[in-house]
Structure 1
Amino acid sequence: MNQQKTYGGGCACGAVRFRAIGSPMRVGMCHCMTCRQVHGSAFSSYAIFDRSAVTLTGDTREWRSSEQGRRHFCPLCGSVAFMMYADRDEIALPLGAFDETGLFEPTYELWCKHKEPWLPRGVRPEYDEERAH
């Protein structure tokens, strides 16, 4: 029997939890202004899984952060729990929301036109804006 690894995580207070099975489709960093403001950091990092590989528990609030983007956050602690797109069957889980560290390493960076000048350049492929999926 082929057993795939399971990864758990959730919001800061634990009211929202996720379980992801198998490997992510891709892992990336985003420097867009929305990610910067939502996370209160210079960038965000997400592991993107097929929607069918992720189980969610707990109630979230949804914010339409772009034409297709839907960010879900915990109404109790405000943590970003996950992000989905209306036009894709995938879910983006913040790397900082996983229970363990060091699970996934980003392989690309998006919206680098907003990247802080003090961050290193050329570590992984960089895109000025979005990349083709």
Structure 2
Amino acid sequence: METFPYTPSQQPLYDGGCACGALRFRAKGEPKRVGICHCMTCRRIHGSAFGSYAIYERDDIEWSGDTRAWKSSPLGRRHFCPACGSVAYMEYGDGSELDIPLGSFDRTGIFEPTYELWCCHREPWLPAGVRTEFDKDRT
């Protein structure tokens, strides 16, 4: 498992990586926001009813290891580990923000989503009204 050099900082550091350990990251500080996405692409790439993400500025994430990417929408690129296929992150538009899957962090329970996207595709058995909801993307 790759480790990162210790850098004294006032910001908390959050480590994570892919399932096989070939790809590692360190997130500096708190994310800009944390959300859940029910879009059909997130459902399919995670093989689950939704994806959940911590959104960071690109400069707040350090990476170790390689990724491969595919263009998942006109504005989106999804990066994954070429060894195990784990989702590494998503970037949209100019790529200044990275959406890091909550399940890729080493610790659990560190971030709680405050909103949900693409609720038009949410499974009917999931509770509604728990956090801010958007029928499609955030406005």
| TM-score range for the pair, normalised by the shorter chain length | over 0.9
Distance in 1 (alpha carbons) for counterparts of 2:117 and 2:111: 17
Residues 6-43 of structure 1 show CA distances to partners (whole Å, capped at 9, x for unaligned) of 00001000101111000100000000000000000000
Alignment of 1:1-133 (within 5 A): 3-132=10-139
| CA deviation after TM superposition for structure 1 residue 57, in Å | 1.2
Counterpart code for 1:111: W
Q: CA RMSD in A?
A: 1.2
Residue aligned with 2:132, SS: coil
| CA deviation after TM superposition for structure 1 residue 87, in Å | 2.6
The size of the alignment, in residue pairs, is: 132
Counterpart code for 1:119: L
* Structure-1 residue corresponding to 2:4: none
Residue aligned with 2:100, SS: strand
Q: Given the two structures, how large is their TM-score scaled by the length of structure 1?
A: 0.96
Distance in 1 (alpha carbons) for counterparts of 2:52 and 2:75: 18
Distance in 1 (alpha carbons) for counterparts of 2:94 and 2:114: 23
Counterpart code for 1:40: G
Q: Identity percentage over the alignment?
A: 66
| CA deviation after TM superposition for structure 1 residue 88, in Å | 4.4
Moved beyond 3 Å, runs of 4+? none
| Unaligned 5+ runs, structure 1 | none
| CA deviation after TM superposition for structure 1 residue 2, in Å | 5.9
Distance in 1 (alpha carbons) for counterparts of 2:108 and 2:83: 24
Q: Given the two structures, how large is their TM-score scaled by the length of structure 2?
A: 0.92
Counterpart code for 2:86: S
| CA deviation after TM superposition for structure 1 residue 118, in Å | 0.2
Residue aligned with 1:55, SS: strand
